[in-house]
Structure formats: structure tokens, C-alpha cells
A and B are shown apart, each in its own frame.
Chain A
Amino acid sequence: MNAIEIKNLTKNFGEKQALKGLDMTVPVGAIYGFIGENGSGKSTTEKILCGLIPYNGGDVKLFGKPLTDVNIRANIGVLIESPGCFPSLSVWNNLMIQAANLGITNAADEVRKVLKLVRMEGAAGNKYKNCSLGMKQRIGIAMALLGDPALLVLDEPINGLDADGMRIMREVLTDLAQNHGCTVLVSSHILGELEKIATHYGIVRGGRMIKEMTAEELNASCRTFVALQTKNQENTKFVLRNRYARVEEDEQGYLRVYEAKNPEEVVTYLYEKGILVHEIKTAKIGLEEYYIDLMKEKGAR
């Protein structure tokens, strides 16, 4: 059974068609990285999944049940943009309110448990308005975790977090998926972070799913390249382009040669041309570069 199964989902905002027949499949227990440009339809899809906005057409099932079944919602924990908390109430009271809305009987124990999970036990008495951005995001996660949801829908949960906050968030989400069987749908523009935890990916563009794959498939699709540095990078780039179709300079100042079979081949070629290589290594493109390449490719079509 899949946690989320969407077929041909459409959503219009007046004249604008935000979703144009989106398909999506999220297996149970996955950490699904939901990626796309701003306005590509990620948040709209997430809001539809949470029942916050109606959709115009298509079929949406959560754990095999239609989305229209309101009883499925107790299984979903949600953090869309920012947590829905009352600023003048304490963190504890805000969580207790959500626990009451969910009909949790042992609310105090449950709130204590989720606060511990997001490492916020010490801040329970703080007023929400006095919490830092990172704390607020963790409160949002805590709120989403109330009632032991089987599915977490998180929209940009790591935005604005510092390095430690991101690490905590990563650990929490990985623990939920690996040890508690929780399925996590997480959208983020910080692809480097997403790459560290996601088991599945969905890339959306213009309201359509353009690619769905597992982390293993991504790994297999990500090409290796040879990165090197020489004394005269410009000249080297010119020389390399006579033999290799794709040579680019990256942000760290390395020349990337994509079609090279191995570093030895490149070093030998450059040696023959009278160029000495200072440093050379092989590397693999990450999710971010894969994503950018894919976007370029789709944009070119």
C-alpha cells in the first residue's frame, strides 16, 4: 500500500491552472523529497493533501482511502509554511490546544513526548511569540507529531534554521521514518539537506510531476566527473573542450570534465598538450546539480 497515491490531480486558481494533471506515488515509510521551483505546485499539492484547499479534478488516496474521508486526517501531521500557533499563548498551551483538537486523551503525556522528541522540553513555558525561528519550526514539527501520525507533510521545514537546527531536524525525521514507520513528505529548496535524508524524490515543474525516483535511482543517474585545477584554467578549459563536449568551471574554481572515463585519461591528454595538472579528483554530481540539469533539459524542450 502507498501512503500517498495521486492521479491526474488538477487545481485552478481562477484562470491560472496550478496543477495540470499531477501524478505522485509515495510508498509507506519513505522520506519523500518534493522538489520544484517556486510556483511549480508543491505547496498547492501539500495543501490539497491536508484538506486545506479543494481540488478540481483527479484522484487522491491516502493509505488507500479517498482524501474526502475526513477520518484519514488523524493520521496526518502537518507543517505548512509555519506552525499555526497563538503568539500570546505558551508553547505548551499551543500544543495542548492541538492535542484537544485531535481528541488525544492523555494530552499532557503526548505533548511532553513530542517536545522531548524535538528537544524543546526546556522551552515549554515560553510564549510562542518569544521563540526564535528555529524553535518555532521545531514547535511546528512537534505539533505535527501529536497523535503519532502515519504521514507527515512538511512544507519547507528547514527554512531559516541554523546548522544545529538542521541537524536536529534531520535526525528527528530520519528517526521517525526508520524507527516509527512514519512516511514523510518534505518539500524544500535546500536540496543539499534533503539529499541527506530522502529515500525517494519527486520533481515537479509547471504543475506536473516530471520525475519520480528512489535515492538509489538518483545515485545511479548522477554522473561522475573529473575535477581538476591547473595554473591557467582558461587555457586548460579551451584545450579540454577540443576533446570533451562538456567542460565547466564550478564555484570552487575546479574545471569539471563530464565525459572523461577516468582522471588518468585527462592527465595524459593535458600532458601531451603541455599542461601540468596541480590537483585532480573524481566526484559525483549531487541532487542539486541533477535537479538543475533536469530543469535545463525540460526547459529546452
Chain B
Amino acid sequence: MEQNTLHFESPTFFQRVKRMLDVDFYRLFHTPMFYIFLAIAAIIPAMILGMTSIENADGVVQKLYDNTWQVIAADTPLYAVSDIAQYANMNMVFIFGGIMLSIFIGHDYKSGYVKQLFTTHAKKEDYMISKTAIGAFSMACMCITYLIGTVVSGLFVQASFAVNVWSLLCAIVGKILMSLGWASLYVFLNIIFRKYFGISIVSCFFFGTGILIVGAGALVGNSPLLNVFLYGSSVYACLSGNIWTVLVCLAVSVAWTGIYNVLGTYVLEKSDVY
């Protein structure tokens, strides 16, 4: 070992974030949890479509969906859902993603990794950004495996594939864009409840179900105002979507990401890391 000397390296913001992303992606790809959640995201739509397409004891098929793509998104933006078919679509990925991100961040704290991390150049905002990026990437991947699971199961049960391709594309892109906003919410929740792993998971599940917006929808009706919320705009990305849908999803997702990252950084700055 050389004689230890003082070195006051000042890595740029991009260097710092890149270092952290390198580590987080390495961890993500080397943990079975990521692949398990990808598989879950593929299996769930296949299960839903498969189970709702089989005959019951009376030999009757009680289909929940007329069309395969309804497993991806509802026909129209319905915030106050009246049946499970309108609710159970690609938005479920955001629930799985929340749980996965809780486990991922929980490991940071449980293992003591954060204390190692924050004794380097890492800043609190870098942590928020990196975890948000990991969460968004994971959920985007889950959206894709969900899509694959839906298509395969649709083919298997011979469900209809008739759709306006442009609208479908806008809905899928819109939902993938929403991954960013959802990830930032989950990172924020995990920062708030960082010492209580169980509460972190439960809170992510609670918010991921969009229960507050579903409740609001029931009270105020299908108001477009609800689109300003993450769940609202996730619902807005539906099979009647267009380029406006994509833009709304992008704007809402980026705006909430900014808000949650600033709040999360503030909380981390003002509290004990470990």
C-alpha cells in the first residue's frame, strides 16, 4: 500500500450518479428477486385471462374481458371502478413494483449498506435519483413481461385481439412512463419508513392500489382533475388513449418524481442515515 495521502476529489453530479447506478444495476441483475417479480408480472395477466376464460361447473364461460388488450388497460378512464375487470390491468405492475422496491431499499438499510454508501462522495439526492431510476427500470421491465404474459395467454385462450393499435401503443407507453412517478413515490415512502420495513411494504401496497383515488373517484366521479395524481394518470392511459395521454402521463410522472425526490432528499438530509 502506498503512503496514504489526502485527495480531495470532487466528482461531478453525473459521475456520482453513474457510480451509484452502476452498483444498483449490478445488484438488481444479481438478485433473484428481480427475475421473480418479472415472472410474477408475466404470470398474473395469464392467470387472470386464463381463469376468466374457462367454463364453470354449469359449462358456462363468464368472461371478464371481451378483448385481450383489456387486461392491459381499461377501455375508458374509469377512476371509480365498478367491477374488477376495469381495475385489474397493467396498473397492477405498480403494486408489484412497489413491493420489490421496498425489499430492495430495505436491504440497503438492513445490511447497513447505506452507512457504507454515505461515507463516500454519495449525496442524498443521488440516492433518491438512483433508487428512483432502478424502480422505474424494474417496473418498465415488468410492464413488458406483463405485456408478453397477456399476449401469450390471449393466444392460448383464443381471445380477441381487435384493437386500435395507436391507442394501445399510447396506453402502453403512458403506463411505462408512469413507472418513473410510481418509483419516486415508493422511494419516498421507503425513506420515510426506512426503519420499519413492514410498514414500508404495506404503505407501498396501499398507495399502489390507488385506493385513495378510487375513493375520490367514487365521490367526485370521473373527473379529469384526478389525472394530476399518479393513479389517475395511470388509469388515464387506457385503450382510448392518444398522444395527449402520453403527454399527460409524462408530465404527471416527471412532476411527481421531482416533488418526491426533493422531499425525500430533504428527509434524508435532516434525519439520521443510520
Checking A70, A81, A145 against B112 with a beta-carbon cut-off of 8 angstroms, the contacting residue is A81
Chain A CB count within 10 A is highest, among B2, B116, B118, B272, for B116
Checking A47, A69, A101, A117 against B117 with a beta-carbon cut-off of 8 angstroms, the contacting residue is A101
Beta-carbon contact of B273 and A70 below 8 Å: no
Instruction: For the complex, give the distance between the alpha carbons of A84 and B114 in Å.
Output: 7
Beta-carbon contact of B116 and A181 below 8 Å: no
Cβ of A63: which chain B residues have Cβ within 8 Å of it? 6
Mask, A81-118, CB within 8 Å of B = 1, is: 11111111100010001101111000000000100010
Beta-carbon contact of B115 and A52 below 8 Å: yes
Beta-carbon contact of B6 and A101 below 8 Å: no
Beta-carbon contact of B116 and A84 below 8 Å: yes
Beta-carbon contact of A100 and B23 below 8 Å: yes
Checking B4, B111, B115, B269 against A149 with a beta-carbon cut-off of 8 angstroms, the contacting residue is B4
Beta-carbon contact of B9 and A103 below 8 Å: yes
**Total number of A-B contacts with CB less than 8 angstroms?**
118
Checking A47, A75, A88, A102 against B6 with a beta-carbon cut-off of 8 angstroms, the contacting residue is A75
Asked if A125 is an interface residue, CB under 8 A from chain B, the answer is: no
Cβ of A182: which chain B residues have Cβ within 8 Å of it? 4
Q: How far is the CB of A34 from chain B (nearest CB, A)?
A: 17
Mask, B106-129, CB within 8 Å of A = 1, is: 010001111111111111000000
> Given contacts A81-B112, A103-B9, is CB(A52)–CB(B121) below 8 Å?
no
> Given contacts A148-B1, A180-B3, is CB(A101)–CB(B116) below 8 Å?
yes
Checking B15, B31, B119 against A52 with a beta-carbon cut-off of 8 angstroms, the contacting residue is B119
Beta-carbon contact of A84 and B4 below 8 Å: no
Chain A CB count within 10 A is highest, among B1, B7, B22, B274, for B1
Beta-carbon contact of B30 and A89 below 8 Å: yes
Cβ of A69: which chain B residues have Cβ within 8 Å of it? 8
Name the residue of chain B whose CB is nearest to the CB of A128: B111
Checking B113, B121, B274 against A73 with a beta-carbon cut-off of 8 angstroms, the contacting residue is B121
* Interface size bracket, B side: 35 or more
Instruction: For the complex, give the distance between the alpha carbons of A102 and B111 in Å.
Output: 18
Cβ of A145: which chain B residues have Cβ within 8 Å of it? 1
Cβ of A222: which chain B residues have Cβ within 8 Å of it? none
Q: How far is the CB of A72 from chain B (nearest CB, A)?
A: 7
> Given contacts A52-B118, A82-B112, A84-B116, is CB(A101)–CB(B273) below 8 Å?
no
> Given contacts A78-B115, A86-B27, is CB(A71)–CB(B274) below 8 Å?
no
Asked if A173 is an interface residue, CB under 8 A from chain B, the answer is: no
Q: How far is the CB of B242 from chain A (nearest CB, A)?
A: 43
Q: How far is the CB of B255 from chain A (nearest CB, A)?
A: 28
Cβ of B116: which chain A residues have Cβ within 8 Å of it? 78, 83-85, 98, 101, 143
Asked if A53 is an interface residue, CB under 8 A from chain B, the answer is: yes
> Given contacts A84-B115, A150-B4, is CB(A74)–CB(B120) below 8 Å?
yes
Name the residue of chain B whose CB is nearest to the CB of A110: B1
Cβ of A87: which chain B residues have Cβ within 8 Å of it? 111
Instruction: For the complex, give the distance between the alpha carbons of A87 and B110 in Å.
Output: 10
Instruction: For the complex, give the distance between the alpha carbons of A75 and B121 in Å.
Output: 10
Asked if A80 is an interface residue, CB under 8 A from chain B, the answer is: yes
Asked if B262 is an interface residue, CB under 8 A from chain A, the answer is: no
Beta-carbon contact of A47 and B120 below 8 Å: no
Asked if A76 is an interface residue, CB under 8 A from chain B, the answer is: yes
Instruction: For the complex, give the distance between the alpha carbons of A206 and B119 in Å.
Output: 26
Mask, B255-274, CB within 8 Å of A = 1, is: 00000000000000111111
Asked if B10 is an interface residue, CB under 8 A from chain A, the answer is: yes
> Given contacts A54-B270, A97-B27, A101-B122, is CB(A85)–CB(B113) below 8 Å?
yes
Name the residue of chain B whose CB is nearest to the CB of A49: B119
Instruction: For the complex, give the distance between the alpha carbons of A186 and B23 in Å.
Output: 29
Asked if B173 is an interface residue, CB under 8 A from chain A, the answer is: no
Instruction: For the complex, give the distance between the alpha carbons of A103 and B3 in Å.
Output: 19
Asked if A287 is an interface residue, CB under 8 A from chain B, the answer is: no
Can you show 29 pairs from A to B with CB atoms below 8 A apart? Answer: A47-B272, A52-B272, A53-B274, A54-B270, A54-B272, A63-B6, A71-B8, A73-B120, A74-B120, A75-B8, A81-B112, A84-B113, A85-B113, A86-B27, A86-B107, A88-B31, A89-B30, A100-B19, A100-B26, A101-B120, A143-B116, A148-B1, A148-B5, A150-B4, A150-B6, A180-B3, A181-B3, A181-B5, A182-B4
A-B CB proximity, top 4 nearest: A84-B112, A84-B116, A53-B272, A84-B113
A residues whose Cβ falls under 8 Å from a Cβ of B: 47, 50-54, 63, 65, 69-76, 78, 80-89, 93, 97-98, 100-103, 113, 117, 143, 145, 148-150, 176, 180-182
* A71-B121, A83-B116 known, 5 other contacts, Cβ within 8 Å: A52-B273, A75-B8, A89-B30, A103-B120, A181-B5
